[in-house]
Amino acid sequence: MKFSNSLSLLDSYFAQVPNEVGFSGAHVLLVVGFGILVFLSLVYIGMPLLILKITRLKKHPEITSFDPNKIPAPLDASLDYFESQEKRLENLEFEYVTDVFIRDMAAASRMLGQLWFHTESCTGLLLIHAYAMNNGNITLTSQSVEFSSSFNNGFLVDTSNTKDFGVFPPHPKKIQHSMFWVQNIEKIYQLHQAICQDVMLNATPVNDLDEKYNGDGIEWIRAGIEKEYNDNLKSGFLKETADGEEYRFSVIGAFILTWKSIFPWKQFRFMKMRSKILSKLRDLNVQLN
């Protein structure tokens, strides 16, 4: 009898084990699922709200030239980068215009650059060394090139290799491409020229640098930044602050900025840009040298 009772107890115990394991598994899944939901909420909702609250863009950022001899040691890499491109730009018949320093366009962000210009094609080129300041330390450095050509029908062709090619839809008359996976400046310029040739079927390039700004590269760059801000303001992605000195992101602007800058939308954006460029090269029948 005792043996039978023992078997009955064992049978009862093992009969309950699957239910107990099932309950524990469901409980773990529930906790994990809740944790993932909280994390996604913080990223996809919390970050845009934080950006909405604290991020400000200066309406008129400080843009000046700089003395290369007075650049602090941590930024030597920018000068090395500029020097490494100098001969290549001269071979492409670009002429040096000015050194550029943009301070605090957004909080803690900085940019050292060099502006070059190709008079015959009316094309400006900006060599960019961007970085951020964090407690006196230089972080988040990146280097890129950006070609820009304006036309008499209002179109602007912008071709670069930056990974930060903008999360907001460009103005309808801005033709924007970024070969973010290419470092060769000649190939980037070749794509830019091909797109410009296509635009020139219905328009003529204009030399805004000389005709509008009397060769003042700083003012030429300032005007480009302000136009970009105005376009995003009109599109509803930015709003002016109460004092009129800065811009802040709108609700939709903050959410688009965040979502398109993180996984998986960032990767989709890169894939879309790469596909767009490869398709453009096929359409224009261009083989990059």
**Per-residue model confidence as pLDDT tens digits over 236-270:** 999 999 999 999 999 999 999 999 998 899 999 99
Write the pLDDT tens digit of every residue in 26-70.
777 777 777 777 776 777 898 999 999 999 999 988 999 999 888
Domain residue spans of the chain: 1-54, 55-283
138-176 pLDDT, tens per residue?
888 899 999 999 999 999 999 999 998 888 999 999 999
For residues 66 and 51, what is the distance between their CA atoms, to the nearest angstrom? Answer: 31
| Whole-number percent of the chain with pLDDT over 70 | 90
Give the largest Cα separation in the chain, rounded: 109
Query: What's the rounded mean pLDDT across residues 184-196?
Result: 97
Strand duo 174-178 + 156-160: pairing: parallel
pLDDT band at 2 (very low <50, low <70, confident <90, very high): very low
What's the CA gap between 248 and 256, in Å, rounded?
14
Q: What is the pLDDT of residues 84-102, one digit of tens each?
A: 999 999 999 999 999 999 9
Distances (CA, A) of 104 to 144, 170, 253: 19, 23, 20
